[in-house]
């Protein structure tokens, strides 16, 4: 799997779950802490090209995936496809 980019906050449980999912599956990822970097949701929207209402916002390579639920489903599909 390509490198995952997670835009989020350390105070967000879904953001932390996304990081933990990457770590537990040995998926390479880049964590972008929006608070640490002084980013707003609009800044993230400008980066990914989509409106942002919640975090995390997750990309795999250049492909926008969505939030934690969409990313979790993406990982399950990827694992199912590569295990065949």
pLDDT digits (tens, 9 = 90+) for 10-58: 999 999 999 999 999 999 999 999 999 999 999 999 988 989 999 999 9
pLDDT value of residue 61: 96
In this predicted structure, the answer to whether residue 82 has a pLDDT above a threshold of 90 is: no
* Structural domains present in the chain: 2-80 (3.40.30.10)
Question: Which pLDDT value is given to residue 47?
Answer: 87
Q: pTM of the prediction? A: 0.93
User: Using CA atoms in the order 84, 80, 2, 63, what is the torsion angle rounded to 10 degrees?
Assistant: 130
Split at pLDDT 50, 70, 90, the class of 60 is very high
How many whole angstroms separate alpha carbon 42 and alpha carbon 79? 32
């Amino acid at each position: 799997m390509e490198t995952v980019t997670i835009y989020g906050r350390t105070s967000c449980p879904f953001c932390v779950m996304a990081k933990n999912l990457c770590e537990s599956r040995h998926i390479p990822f880049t964590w972008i802490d929006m608070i640490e970097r002084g980013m707003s949701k609009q800044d993230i929207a400008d980066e990914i090209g989509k409106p942002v209402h919640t975090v995390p916002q997750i990309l795999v390579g250049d492909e926008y995936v969505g939030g934690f639920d969409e990313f979790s489903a993406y990982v399950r599909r990827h694992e199912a496809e590569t295990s065949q």
